[in-house]
Structure 1
Amino acid sequence: MAYNEHAACPCGSKKSYKNCCKIFHEGKYPQTAVELMKSRFSAFVVGNIDYIISTTHEDNIEYSENKSKWREDLQNVISSNDFYSLEILDFIDGKEESYVTFKVGIKQRGLDVSFTEKSKFLKIDGKWLYRSGEFLDD
């Protein structure tokens, strides 16, 4: 199912998806780790698996050389979860390494499985990539 580009962007920016995260999903590079975080969350909402894969650092635990299996795993995550909110709690900006702490709202078969995470992002060849995340107690 295609996401309505005129609907509010899933990242919570109050802009339309077309004027927010869609530009990153179509090839513009996020300038900050926060932009990458928000656009990755939106990619889970709209089902843009290729964007999720292309913005994941190769040292990430989820990273796989077997892209078809990885795509299948991501599709299962996307189809079995309702990603409904994102709240940025903290941002530590750096030139090559940044941290974003966020709370993501997720429901899985009606159960709230929301979590808070502190994510590490690395800038490699001018592009921000998601390196790792640590779950935090709410």
Structure 2
Amino acid sequence: MKFSVNDFCPCGSLKKYKKCCKLFHDKITFPKTALELMKSRFSAFAVSNSDYIIFTTHENNPDFTIEIKSWSKDILNFSNNTEFKKLEILEFIDDEIESFVTFKATLIQGKEDISFIEKSRFLKVEGIWKYVDGNFLN
């Protein structure tokens, strides 16, 4: 999907992408909370920004690998073949070092609905929030 910086941000903020998550994606600023990171990661998947996904993934994440080219290719394959319809935040448990965000991602691949609900865990490492892991919920 072609995406413009003047389109509404995929995170659901109702701001233009260039005034919202793009600031995080371009490392002009960093998310102040795990919730902001969660939303910016959803947007990064939606705009096919594998570099940001890799940068914001904690080294203890099961998908983390030093094989960056292969990992980036996998992310781009997923992003380019998925419609990121909607992000709904269901719960946010905020703390200084470890936080949790429960969300519903509405996603379509081809004609198949692959939407899911996940409770994600984030850790703050040297002042920057990172995605550690998540559990799918029914």
Distance 2:94 2:70 in 1: 33
Q: Which residue of 2 aligns with 1:65?
A: 66
Q: Which residue of 1 aligns with 2:40?
A: 39
Distance 2:67 2:129 in 1: 22
Q: Following TM superposition, by how much is the alpha carbon of 1:3 offset from its aligned partner in structure 2, in angstroms? A: 2.2
Q: Which residue of 1 aligns with 2:25?
A: 25
SS of the equivalent of 1:133 reads: strand
Gaps of 5+ in 2: none
Cα shift readout 1:87-130 (whole Å, capped 9, x = no counterpart): 00000000000000000010011111100000000000000000
Distance 1:131 1:71 in 2: 17
Gaps of 5+ in 1: none
Distance 2:69 2:47 in 1: 19
Q: Which residue of 2 aligns with 1:12?
A: 12
SS of the equivalent of 2:73 reads: helix
Q: Which residue of 1 aligns with 2:118?
A: 117
Distance 1:23 1:2 in 2: 19
Distance 2:3 2:109 in 1: 20
Structure 1 stretches of at least 4 aligned residues deviating more than 2 Å after TM superposition: none
TM-score computed with the length of structure 2 as normaliser: 0.96
Q: Which residue of 2 aligns with 1:126?
A: 127
Q: Following TM superposition, by how much is the alpha carbon of 1:46 offset from its aligned partner in structure 2, in angstroms? A: 0.6
Identity of aligned residues (%): 52
Count of residue correspondences:
137
Q: Which residue of 1 aligns with 2:85?
A: 84
